[in-house]
């Protein structure tokens, strides 16, 4: 009877351990070459958490974020995940990718080439968005929407949390904004209509402050091109770099212009257009404006496919 009880106890412990091991991200004890072979066999990408033993956010990611079941489901299905100490077995990786921030997250293809790079602390919901953006970026079958097909998120819909860096290297997190937020999408520093509109928005600053509202500009352009926007407009508002178009996709404002339009931009703008964004797909956001309440719900929007038409300052103020 005693022996039977012991066997039953070990069986239950094994079941419990097995169940726990299937929650969260399953990090495998493989080197990069082994991971590349397995990724090719299973048709997956590679995710590397490059950490250090002294890094506080690294420990928090391991404790709070990676064990999330929903995150585990996405990553275990689509990635070979590795947990690598940057100061031991990961020194060559850190040198190769010029890593200076920890934790650093490398998303690689099956050949070990970089697909996407992120760093810093993310909660589970935020990191889920990161993983989804990597998969969407690498999905060749994903249909890019035309200008006629994008409709924009509607009033009443709630926007999931997102994070992005601004020109001051500060991280903006939608969920941390305990106030109304005005989000303005622009096409880039090469667009005169965008620059003129940004200049006009400066007139809203006193009213926004009095109404405890924050205005944020969202650009698809890289930081060095955002600097050109600031130089041209002298704006003091935060401008977020929408890397890989994640925010534009959340709001359903991302589209691919028709070929003749892209040809025109590339001919007349050159690298100012071609090299300014995360990729050279030519995708752009509709120049939409959204107002969100404290709970991330859309309470007003201006959505017009014509980039020359922008939300009036009067209409914005009426909603606040």
Active-site positions read: 55, 58
Burial class (CB in 10 A: 0-12, 13-18, 19+), 242: buried
Rg of the chain over all Cα atoms, to the nearest angstrom: 23
- Among 116, 84, 80, 127, which residue's Cα sits nearest to residue 102? 84
The total of other beta-carbon atoms located within 10 Å of residue 299's CB is 14
- State the distance between the two ends of the chain, measured CA to CA, in whole angstroms: 73
- Among 205, 147, 197, which residue's Cα sits nearest to residue 310? 197
Residue 231 CA from chain centroid, whole number = 25
- Among 292, 293, 289, which residue's Cα sits nearest to residue 312? 289
Query: What is d(CA 174, CA 80) in angstroms, rounded to the nearest whole number?
Result: 30
Query: What is d(CA 67, CA 75) in angstroms, rounded to the nearest whole number?
Result: 11
Contact 235, 226 (CB under 8 A): no
Distances (CA, A) of 313 to 139, 197, 201, 219: 39, 10, 7, 20
Query: What is d(CA 241, CA 243) in angstroms, rounded to the nearest whole number?
Result: 6
Query: What is d(CA 271, CA 163) in angstroms, rounded to the nearest whole number?
Result: 27
């Amino acid at each position: 009877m005693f022996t039977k009880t012991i066997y039953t106890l070990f069986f239950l412990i094994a079941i419990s351990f097995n169940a726990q091991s299937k929650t969260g991200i399953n990090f495998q004890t493989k080197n990069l070459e082994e991971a590349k072979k397995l990724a090719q066999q299973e048709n997956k990408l590679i995710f590397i958490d490059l950490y250090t033993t002294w890094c506080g956010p690294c420990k928090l990611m391991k404790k709070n974020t990676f064990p999330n079941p929903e995150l585990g489901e996405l990553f275990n299905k689509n990635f070979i995940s590795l947990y690598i100490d940057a100061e031991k077995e990961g020194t060559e990786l850190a040198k190769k990718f010029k890593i200076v921030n920890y934790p650093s997250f490398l998303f690689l293809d099956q050949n070990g080439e970089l697909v996407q790079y992120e760093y810093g602390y993310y909660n589970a919901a935020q990191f889920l968005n990161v993983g989804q953006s990597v998969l969407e970026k690498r999905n060749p079958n994903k249909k890019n929407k035309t200008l006629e097909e994008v409709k924009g998120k509607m009033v009443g819909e709630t926007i999931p949390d997102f994070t992005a860096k601004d020109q001051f290297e500060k991280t903006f997190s939608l969920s941390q904004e305990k106030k109304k937020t005005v989000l303005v999408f622009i096409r880039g520093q090469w667009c005169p209509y965008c620059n003129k509109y940004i200049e006009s928005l400066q007139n809203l600053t006193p009213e926004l402050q009095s109404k405890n509202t924050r205005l944020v500009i969202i650009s698809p352009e890289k930081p060095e091109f955002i600097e050109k926007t600031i130089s041209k407009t002298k704006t003091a508002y935060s401008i977020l770099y929408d890397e890989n178009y994640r925010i534009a996709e959340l709001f359903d404002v991302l589209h691919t212009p028709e070929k003749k339009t892209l040809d025109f931009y590339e001919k007349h703008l050159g690298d100012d257009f071609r090299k300014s964004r995360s990729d050279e797909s030519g995708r752009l956001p509709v120049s939409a404006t959204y107002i969100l309440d404290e709970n991330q719900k859309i309470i007003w929007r201006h959505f017009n496919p014509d980039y020359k038409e922008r939300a009036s300052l009067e209409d914005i103020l009426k909603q606040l």
